[in-house]
């Protein structure tokens, strides 16, 4: 129950750090509250709607009633399992745009510009391109994290990209390479037909080393003596125990549970801690603040042709797909079915994409409930950089009680303007000639909804989280009162304590957050070990030459 480094959370970032720290010869002990990730519900990519709706694998959090979304309480899944949320997510792989990381650096995260983080993306990836895919100079080819592309056999995947081209947008053969902007193939963390989570990529190889171990326990608080973190108090089998760290404690428990753990440990807004009778060790008002997420709409179209995945939406077909996957790891079960994507700008004067599309050849909710109209297809669409900010707060001083999560979605007027634009631009894409053989009619929002007020009403009732919470312990300058960690991921005000996961993002990145969360773990490991950072890249990403004057 003692190691050089004690890591709280065997998720995306925690697994990456365990792999790198143990690989450097340090002893590592991971604390994880969840259980095994074995079994087809997690490992079969096409089964992705199951694990995030299972109490066995998910913390089961919900937001407080969201005042701008008809007081709905939105699901906030977080992985409670080996691999964390990388074991229950949609397996979509997006690095983020270069400007995201340059913005981080401008906000005080020195050393985290795109030139600084690109080498870590390359170090972590094992990219498997086709013969005509992308530019290998931008990608990694021997890292632990396998990144692949689906087969894109359904003609609808190609119709989506062609419709984007017909509407006047760019195309891109690798949105994770030089050029994010445009329509093209989507990438996934799938390898040989299996979900390639952080547990498969990093944790299993690390646990084969004699200096890396894992215990199943729930962290209650970081133990701090004389201003230094010395260990973690955990509950295991009903008993409270202390896990001691000889060098450092590293928190990597998610953007929801990491700020909760800091606050339970006396690190956070002093007045809030006092409310719950907690001692104040470090008054950091930024702990739990700055909560951000992506909201999206499932824009659904009824299909004129019976070529969608709906034809497999019956028990017999599901059994056949499942059996094929179990025995051969091939077939429809071997892909997450998100195989085409797009990143576009919502207007002239916006220098890099602020809208993301996931395309799916079926009209279905994320929880697996199919549209009532049968054959259909959909695009998940939403703005990337909402101005709304929320917070995570303690419900009580009891570590077993879920935190209070308030996203404050759609609280900024600009969010409404951007979301309406998303819906109108999507209608235009589905109206292109490439979709003419396939479009029957619009299921939702529904063609009758045209005015700003009608679209706003639809957004209030139907916008869903894309499950990308982040930013609740943001990285910044050590003298920034709202920063929680410095650019070396050290918690400001407490020695020998670090935090490295999506909590530290100063601003949400473009797209899905699993890739940047793993990158944070990779880069943090070098800071923790005192190694010089990877040499900065001098590669220049593509920017639209007329972004100031043209929307596409």
Q: Which of 97, 380, 468, 544 is catalytic?
A: 468
**89 known member of a binding site:** yes
Helices (H), 300-430: 315-328, 413-430
**251 known member of a binding site:** no
User: How many angstroms separate the Cα of 282 from the Cα of each of 223, 257, 263, 286, 479?
Assistant: 13, 18, 9, 11, 14
User: How many angstroms separate the Cα of 86 from the Cα of each of 11, 36, 164, 468, 515?
Assistant: 7, 13, 30, 12, 9
How many residues in the chain? 552
**Closest Cα partner for 534 from 547, 544, 542, 525?**
525
d(CA 354, CA 311): 34
**35 known member of a binding site:** no
**107 known member of a binding site:** no
d(CA 520, CA 225): 27
**249 known member of a binding site:** no
d(CA 404, CA 8): 20
**For this structure, is 468 an active site residue?**
yes
322-326: long-range contacts, CB 8 A cutoff, minimum separation 24: 322/40, 322/44, 325/40, 325/44, 325/46, 325/193, 326/40
Both tokens of residue 51? 């694990």
Instruction: Specify whether the backbone of 510 is left (phi greater than 0), alpha (psi in -120 to 50) or beta.
Output: beta
Instruction: Specify whether the backbone of 393 is left (phi greater than 0), alpha (psi in -120 to 50) or beta.
Output: beta
Binding residues: 81, 89-92
Annotated binding-site residues for FAD read: 81, 89-92
Annotated catalytic residues are 468
């Amino acid at each position: 129950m003692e190691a050089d480094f004690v890591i709280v959370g065997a998720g995306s970032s925690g697994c990456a750090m365990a792999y790198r720290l143990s690989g450097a010869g340090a002893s590592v002990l991971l604390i994880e509250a969840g259980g095994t990730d074995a079994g087809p519900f997690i490992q079969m990519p096409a089964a992705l709607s199951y694990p995030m709706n299972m109490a066995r694998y998910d913390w089961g959090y919900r937001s407080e009633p969201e005042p701008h979304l008809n007081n709905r309480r939105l699901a906030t899944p977080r992985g409670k399992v080996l691999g964390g949320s990388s074991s229950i997510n949609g397996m979509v792989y997006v690095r983020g745009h270069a400007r995201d990381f340059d913005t981080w650096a401008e906000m005080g995260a020195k050393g985290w510009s795109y030139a600084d983080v690109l080498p870590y993306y390359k170090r972590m990836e094992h990219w498997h391109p086709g013969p005509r895919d992308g530019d290998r100079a931008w990608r990694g080819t021997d890292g632990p994290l396998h990144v692949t592309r689906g087969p894109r056999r359904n003609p609808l995947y190609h119709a989506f990209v062609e419709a984007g081209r017909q509407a006047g947008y760019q195309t891109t053969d690798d949105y994770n390479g030089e050029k994010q902007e445009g329509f093209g193939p989507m990438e996934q963390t799938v390898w040989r037909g299996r979900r390639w989570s952080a547990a498969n990529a990093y944790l299993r190889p690390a646990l084969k080393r004699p200096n890396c171990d894992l215990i199943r326990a729930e962290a209650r608080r970081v133990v701090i003596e004389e201003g230094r973190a010395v260990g973690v108090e955990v509950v295991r089998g009903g008993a409270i125990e202390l896990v001691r760290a000889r060098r450092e404690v590293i928190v990597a428990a998610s953007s929801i549970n990491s700020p909760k753990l800091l606050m339970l440990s006396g690190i956070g807004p002093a007045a809030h801690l006092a409310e719950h009778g907690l001692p104040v060790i470090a008054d950091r008002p930024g702990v739990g603040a700055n909560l951000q997420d992506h909201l999206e709409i499932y824009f659904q179209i009824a299909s004129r042709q019976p070529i969608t995945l709906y034809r497999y939406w019956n028990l017999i077909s599901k059994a056949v797909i499942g059996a094929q996957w179990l025995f051969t790891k091939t077939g429809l079960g071997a892909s997450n079915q998100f195989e085409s994507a797009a990143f576009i700008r919502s207007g002239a004067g916006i220098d890099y994409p602020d809208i993301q599309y996931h395309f799916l050849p079926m009209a279905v909710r994320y929880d697996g409930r199919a549209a009532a109209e049968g054959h259909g297809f959909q695009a998940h669409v939403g703005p990337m950089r909402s101005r709304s900010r929320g917070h995570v707060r303690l419900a009580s001083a009891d570590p077993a009680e879920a935190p209070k999560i308030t996203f404050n979605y759609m609280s900024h007027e600009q969010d409404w303007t951007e979301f309406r634009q998303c819906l109108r631009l999507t209608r235009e894409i589905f109206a292109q000639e490439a979709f003419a053989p396939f479009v029957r009619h619009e299921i939702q929002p529904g063609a009758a909804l045209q005015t700003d007020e009608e679209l706003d009403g639809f957004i209030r009732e139907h916008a869903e989280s894309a499950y990308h919470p982040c930013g609740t312990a943001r990285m910044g300058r050590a003298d920034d009162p709202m920063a929680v960690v410095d650019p070396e991921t050290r918690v400001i005000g407490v020695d020998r304590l670090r935090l490295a996961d999506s909590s530290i993002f100063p601003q949400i990145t473009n797209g899905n957050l699993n890739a940047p969360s793993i990158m944070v773990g990779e880069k943090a490991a070098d800071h923790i070990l005192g190694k010089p950072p990877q040499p900065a890249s001098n590669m220049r990403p593509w920017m639209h030459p007329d972004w100031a004057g043209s929307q596409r």
